[in-house]
Amino acid sequence: MGNGELYAEAGRRFRDAFGHVHSVAAYAPGRVEILGNHTDYNEGFVLSAAIDFGTYVLVSRTSDGDCRLVAGDLSEEAHFAMSSLAPSKDKTWPNYVMGVLDGLARTHDIGVGFHGLLLGNIPLGAGLSSSAALEMATGLALATLYELDVTPLDLARIGQAAEHTYVGVQCGLLDQISSLFGKRNHLVMTDFRTLEVETVPLGDEACFLMCNTHARHALVDGEYNSRRQHCEEAAAFFEAELDHPVTALRDVSWEEWQQFAAGMDDVTARRAAHPIGENKRVAEGRTLLEKGDLESFGRLMFDSHTSSRVNFENSCRELDFLVDTASRIPGVLGARLSGGGFGGSAVVLLHPRDVETAQHALASAYSREFGTPCDIRVIAPANGARLVQR
């Protein structure tokens, strides 16, 4: 279902649920990470994109402090009071909305409750950040409904806090920022030290395939924490070795890594090589995009995946197979894992004219190798979160 049809369906379901039309509607897209893997908590750079799949949130005020929320795709309801906001233990999905509402209420006098309906078309579990889309659509809709002055970065932080306190996921700001600042046919470049955001043209002659392996490997949380610890240990090493301040691996150049890496144990050196190399690739990638050199940009994506596989070891057999297969398909420009790794999805860069051939080749090869299907969707960089006029 396209976004226009999805909005019409959301409006119909809102009327059916509440007996009146909505007052405010907002839409926010999911996101995909293109370059800059595990650089956010190292205060580095990321190139990402908002995508052309997203979530609508429709709301209207109530006359008291009660809130009633409907998940259109789940056919479930949640009821809660403004005066007693707390994470739900029975259902996960209302917590994203309640967490955002709580964040807004902490700095603004809201008072009355609302009726709300959410409906989206982001594939769940595909690494496309359906949660951030829900948070940003909710925040934009409620801020408008209650006439609150909230900046985009404040809204991103509120969404992040909602995940931390209401959902229990210690996420960064990448997903929320990408959803808010997306632009059609552009990538979003974020500096995670300053939180400065800009958009870089990708052009209309490129799109992506998102290939969801459905692979979920054990001990992911422990592996993630281990890699963060190695990055912190490497930053402390470089702080002691270099003649300039180092507060995070963002402050270490690739040349400095090459010069001093032998002073660390092999694992820590390789772990550090990944975000340091990724920051270099993001900078090079931005320059290549400005020149319109998609082929060279695509090679950086392949290099990024090789670093994930060899240095950070956050890939897996399924992802490696997809990226290797993609590298041998005519018309494919680049491919890499997207997101935290250890399973999940690979993202493939190609020209729109080559989509059908590549999609079929990847799906057939994956099915033969693993005996299970790989969900493959065409996605394109899209505009970020916005209000929708009725």
d(CA 36, CA 301) in angstroms, rounded, equals 10
Number of helices (H) and strands (E) in the chain: give both, helices first: 11, 12
| Token representation of residue 37 | 């893997």
Cβ–Cβ under 8 Å, residues 38 and 281: no
Q: Which CATH architecture has domain 3-201?
A: 2-Layer Sandwich (3.30)
Beta bridge partners of 211: 346, 376
Residues in the chain: 390
d(CA 14, CA 120) in angstroms, rounded, equals 14
Mean pLDDT of 43-72: 95
Cβ partners under 8 Å of residue 127, min gap 6? 32, 210, 212, 338, 339, 344, 345
Q: What is the pTM of this model?
A: 0.92
pLDDT tens sequence across 95-147: 999 999 999 999 888 889 999 999 999 877 677 889 999 999 999 999 999 99
Give the residue among 336, 324, 332, 373 at the shortest CA–CA distance from 355: 332
d(CA 65, CA 131) in angstroms, rounded, equals 25
| Token representation of residue 257 | 């890594």
* Phi and psi at residue 173, to the nearest 5°: -105, 0
User: At residue 56, does pLDDT exceed 70?
Assistant: yes
* pLDDT at 252 (0 to 100): 98
Domain residue limits, the chain: 3-201, 207-379
Mean pLDDT of 3-17: 94
d(CA 328, CA 23) in angstroms, rounded, equals 51
* pLDDT at 303 (0 to 100): 98
Pairing relationship of beta strands 186-191 and 197-201 according to DSSP bridges: antiparallel
d(CA 339, CA 155) in angstroms, rounded, equals 22
pLDDT tens sequence across 217-249: 544 567 878 898 999 999 999 999 999 999 999
175 catalytic? Reply is yes
Q: Which residue in the block uniquely carries the two structure tokens 């240990």?
A: 233
Cβ partners under 8 Å of residue 106, min gap 6? none
Q: How many CA atoms lie within 13 A of 381 on its CB side?
A: 27
Pairing relationship of beta strands 45-61 and 76-81 according to DSSP bridges: unpaired
d(CA 83, CA 93) in angstroms, rounded, equals 20
pLDDT tens sequence across 291-325: 999 999 999 999 999 999 999 999 999 999 999 99
Alpha helices, DSSP H only, in the chain? 3-18, 93-105, 130-145, 152-162, 174-181, 220-241, 254-260, 266-291, 294-307, 317-327, 355-370
Q: Which residue in the block uniquely carries the two structure tokens 């992802």?
A: 319
| Per annotation, catalytic residue among 40, 102, 175, 354 | 175
* pLDDT at 220 (0 to 100): 55
Q: What share of the chain is helix, strand, coil (3-state, %, to 5)?
A: 45, 25, 30
Cβ–Cβ under 8 Å, residues 179 and 190: no
Pairing relationship of beta strands 114-120 and 66-71 according to DSSP bridges: parallel
Q: What is the mean pLDDT of the chain?
A: 93
Mean pLDDT of 67-82: 92
3-state secondary structure of 350: strand
Mean pLDDT of 247-274: 98
Options 3.30.2350.10, 3.30.70.890, 1.10.260.40, 3.40.50.300; CATH of 207-379: 3.30.70.890
If you ran DSSP here, which 8-state letter would residue 340 be given? S
If you ran DSSP here, which 8-state letter would residue 251 be given? G
Mean pLDDT of 209-216: 88
**Within a 10 A sphere around the Cβ of 280, how many other Cβ atoms?**
18
Radius of gyration of the chain (CA): 21
Cβ partners under 8 Å of residue 314, min gap 6? 37, 38, 223, 227, 308, 337, 340, 341, 342
If you ran DSSP here, which 8-state letter would residue 345 be given? E
pLDDT tens sequence across 326-366: 999 999 999 999 888 888 899 999 999 999 999 999 999 99
d(CA 129, CA 9) in angstroms, rounded, equals 22
